[in-house]
């Protein structure tokens, strides 16, 4: 018997989160902005209807925002992460076979429920999530992940589907593929989309029935997998236990360009602190550290990126040690006179911390560092994430590198001071 995958996708997730705590936003055009309030990263249906595209810079739609009274919010990741966790917990109550695919999406394996009506089951999941978390979701069900994604997209738009479309053993399958633009297929981006259309492949049905050799030649092994998935042969399994990450990156764009090395040193120290904390949360250490600087990528004439890779003699997750290395790297990439727009650090060659090859010289240091880092993490966990920090990240209030969030909504679920008061 063929399997049944479901993809549960939150509608306009960040916007929906804002609406849960501010019901007055219902029915109005709402957008959520990226860091520094730079771009649009989430849109309500009303905002989409106004023609506001995903990823547009805010300065290009300022007049639109004004005339249509579009509500614009800075992103509030703590809120969205918290809401995401509630949704995933709710989903876990429906099946243990769940893959958390992103902050607002999860795949479920519903094969064991095939004796029931999967469409009904989908509706039950959908209404429960709405009731328990306030977030509207769409659900697509099919025999492969790729087909489930297609079902989901249609479920989101179709009034008749009411948020759930089941394409398993469905007479509607071919029609569903036919009305799906090839560029909307999971795994087909901008470049493949325009290429395929040039060869007369405009929709998912045409792609499914395309010539294997042609697709293999042009798209490699991933193309063949895609064809199989469209034909109902699963190539992608449910990944309940994600494999460990290969790297951790922390980078930020500056609101205004930065020239001074001292400012960049503060920024880089702050990014290392964040990254090292993530590292320790996973009980990992990094063997390679990379530091990079870049100028404004929209000024093509002067755009340049500089990256320095540093191999650590002993892998570590110690913040102060990593800051030292990162500052070393920063000096190597820094050139006076450039206007920097973005900086970042990357940790690579991650390994479990218990696999550090501790030699006699560093063993006591290692134990001391571990204790110190545990103390640091504990304080920040209890008292708020920025309670204890390294002086290298800057103590002044005038931090030119700091990300700006001017339109942030209150932290409803994560900060006691800002919790909703009922009076």
Site residues, DNA (CB under 7 A):
34-36, 38-39, 41, 55, 57, 59, 101-105, 149, 185-193, 220-222, 243, 245-253, 255, 257, 278, 296, 298, 341-342, 344, 346, 403
* Helices 118-133 + 77-92 axis angle, to 10: 140
- 251, two tokens: 């980078």
State the minimum distance, in angstroms, from the CB of residue 235 to DNA: 9
State the minimum distance, in angstroms, from the CB of residue 342 to DNA: 5
State the minimum distance, in angstroms, from the CB of residue 365 to DNA: 27
| Cα distance between residue 348 and residue 352, in whole Å | 12
User: Among residues 347 and 366, whose Cβ is nearest to DNA?
Assistant: 347
> Is residue 163 within 8 Å of 137, Cβ to Cβ?
yes
State the minimum distance, in angstroms, from the CB of residue 288 to DNA: 8
User: Among residues 339 and 383, whose Cβ is nearest to DNA?
Assistant: 339
Half-sphere exposure of 52 (CA within 13 A, CB side): 31
| Cα distance between residue 303 and residue 330, in whole Å | 18
User: Among residues 261 and 288, whose Cβ is nearest to DNA?
Assistant: 288
State the minimum distance, in angstroms, from the CB of residue 151 to DNA: 13
Strand order of the sheet with strand 164-166? Answer: 98-102, 105-109, 5-10, 137-142, 164-166
Helix (H, G, I), strand (E, B) or coil at 367: helix
In the chain, what's the furthest Cα-to-Cα distance?
A: 70
State the minimum distance, in angstroms, from the CB of residue 164 to DNA: 18
User: Among residues 149 and 208, whose Cβ is nearest to DNA?
Assistant: 149
| Cα distance between residue 41 and residue 14, in whole Å | 8
User: Among residues 48 and 255, whose Cβ is nearest to DNA?
Assistant: 255
User: Among residues 220 and 384, whose Cβ is nearest to DNA?
Assistant: 220
State the minimum distance, in angstroms, from the CB of residue 416 to DNA: 26
State the minimum distance, in angstroms, from the CB of residue 45 to DNA: 17
| Cα distance between residue 188 and residue 350, in whole Å | 30
Half-sphere exposure of 361 (CA within 13 A, CB side): 2
**Helix (H) or strand (E) segment spanning residue 255:** strand 247-258
Using alpha carbons, select from 289, 293, 242, 240 the residue that is nearest to residue 265.
293
User: Among residues 250 and 330, whose Cβ is nearest to DNA?
Assistant: 250
Instruction: Report residue 137: phi and psi, to 5°.
Output: -125, 160
């Amino acid at each position: 018997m063929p399997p049944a995958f479901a993809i549960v996708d939150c509608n306009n997730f960040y916007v929906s989160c804002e609406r849960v705590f501010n019901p007055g936003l219902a029915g109005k055009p709402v957008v959520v902005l990226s860091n520094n309030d730079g771009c649009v990263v989430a849109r309500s249906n009303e905002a989409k209807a106004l023609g506001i595209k995903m990823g547009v810079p805010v300065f290009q739609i300022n007049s639109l925002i004004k005339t249509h009274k579009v509500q614009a919010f800075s992103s509030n990741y703590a809120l969205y992460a918290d809401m995401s966790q509630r949704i995933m917990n709710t989903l876990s109550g429906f099946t243990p076979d769940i893959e958390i695919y992103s902050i607002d999406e999860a795949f479920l394996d519903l094969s064991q429920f095939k004796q029931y009506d999967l469409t009904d089951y989908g509706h039950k999941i959908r209404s429960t999530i709405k009731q328990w978390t306030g977030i509207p979701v769409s659900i697509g069900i099919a025999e492969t992940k790729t087909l489930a994604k297609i079902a989901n997209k249609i479920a989101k738009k179709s009034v008749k589907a009411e948020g759930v479309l089941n394409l398993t053993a469905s007479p509607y399958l071919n029609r569903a593929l036919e009305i799906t633009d090839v560029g909307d297929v999971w795994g087909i981006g901008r470049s493949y989309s325009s290429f395929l259309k040039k060869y007369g492949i405009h929709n998912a049905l045409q792609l499914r029935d395309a010539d294997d050799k042609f697709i293999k030649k042009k798209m490699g092994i991933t193309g063949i997998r895609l064809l199989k998935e469209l034909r109902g042969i699963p190539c992608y399994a449910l990944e309940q236990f994600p494999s460990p990450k290969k790297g951790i990156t922390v980078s930020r764009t500056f609101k205004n360009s930065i020239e001074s090395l001292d400012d960049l040193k503060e920024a880089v120290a702050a990014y290392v602190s964040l990254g090292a904390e993530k590292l320790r949360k996973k009980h990992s250490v990094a063997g390679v550290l990379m530091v990079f600087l870049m100028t404004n990528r929209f000024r093509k004439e002067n755009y340049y990126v500089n990256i320095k890779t540093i191999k650590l003699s002993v892998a570590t997750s110690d913040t102060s040690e990593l800051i030292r290395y990162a500052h070393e790297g920063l000096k190597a990439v820094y050139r006076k006179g450039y206007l920097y727009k973005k900086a970042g650090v990357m940790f690579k060659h991650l390994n479990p911390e218990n696999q550090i090859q501790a030699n006699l010289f560093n063993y006591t240091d290692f134990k001391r560092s571990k204790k110190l880092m545990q103390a640091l993490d504990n304080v920040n966990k209890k008292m708020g994430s920025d309670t204890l920090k390294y002086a290298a990240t800057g103590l002044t209030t005038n931090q030119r590198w700091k990300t700006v969030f001017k339109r942030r909504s209150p932290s409803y679920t994560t900060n006691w001071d800002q919790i909703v008061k009922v009076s």
